[in-house]
Amino acid sequence: MIQHVTDPVDRQLLDNWQRGFPVTARPFAEIAQPLGLPEGDVIARLRHMQAGGRITRVGGTVAPGTISASTLATIATPEHRIEEVAACIDAEPGVNHNYLREDHWNLWFVATGPDQIHVQATLDRISHATGLRVLDLPLLRPFNIDLGFRMASEDRAVPTARRIDLRALQPGDRVLLQRLSSGLPLTAQPYHDLAASLGRDADEIMGRIIALCDAGILSRLGVIVRHRALGWTSNAMVVWQVPEGRMDKAGPALAGVPGVTLCYERRPVHEVWPYSLYSMIHARSRPEARAVLARAAALPVLRGVAHKVLFSTRCFKQTGALIKLKEAAA
């Protein structure tokens, strides 16, 4: 159900805090102060938007390929089996996204886990249970993975590439990152409450979150929205068959096109799926999405490059990544 955000305060909360969320003892009080609101009002508004499906959580997203493993995968599913196969995919705890798209390869999902062995086991189970081939399309290089949606403006500055420093990782960080991926408690002192649930000190937890953000391991900390519920319903994955030697220029150029919300290089599958450059376009209508695509296709480095457009028609699952198994995290 589309829920256009008309309340000006709600729009500011969504616009201003999808990244850069305060890491302080009372973050919602810090957000509330310039709005002239009580702290409790901000918390209540975010709880209401979460309950209504406008946001999934207030929490973190982890840069892919840093502390855990993930891959994009797809299955060519017969139309009469879509519900059955989608349910099988959704049942896997490591699957955090599952979409139906307009193509022969029509079910697209992301499998996550603490390591590549876990991810591969997820793909193997899905293939065995469905009797269908699973194409594994692992990430090779990100060009823009910092997804955000503005309510008040179409303008979007492409985030600059961040260097990731894995030396910043310390024991206990994976458990913390899993909790941040699931979402902070919407309470007056969320970091204090998170620390208490982990049996750790609140100041130490906040220090670790700041360090993980500075190291690029936490790629974003803030309000995670449900873009389809907020009006971005015409969403297309556009895949490009980039000739060898052209990726270094094509990737950054495509990532810089206004309206391209994600951009990355993935490994193709020989003679089955020749596409190596992936981009997402999130738009409010198909004409708007196709206008973005036209600007992208007009780039000198992409002019004449074969590509395919796969519009999303249904979201079966959207949640945080699996970083650490519950049994190990307990």
Q: Can you spell out the DSSP letters for 186-222?
A: -SSSHHHHHHHHHTS-HHHHHHHHHHHHHTTSEEEEE
- Decide: 169 and 324 in contact? Cβ < 8 Å: no
For 25-58, write each residue's pLDDT tens digit.
999 999 999 999 999 999 999 999 999 888 889 9
For 285-307, write each residue's pLDDT tens digit.
999 999 999 999 999 999 999 99
90 phi, psi to nearest 5 deg: -60, -30
- Structure token pair of residue 170: 């310390």
Which residues lie below 8 Å from residue 225, measured CB to CB, with a gap of 6+? Answer: 14, 18, 54, 55, 56, 149
How far is it, in rounded angstroms, from Cα 18 to Cα 165?
23
Burial class from Cβ neighbours inside 10 Å (0-12, 13-18, 19+) for residue 140 reads middle
- Taking the chain, what is the end-to-end CA distance rounded to the nearest angstrom? 36
pTM for the predicted model, two decimal places: 0.79
| Residue 171 or 153, more confident | 171
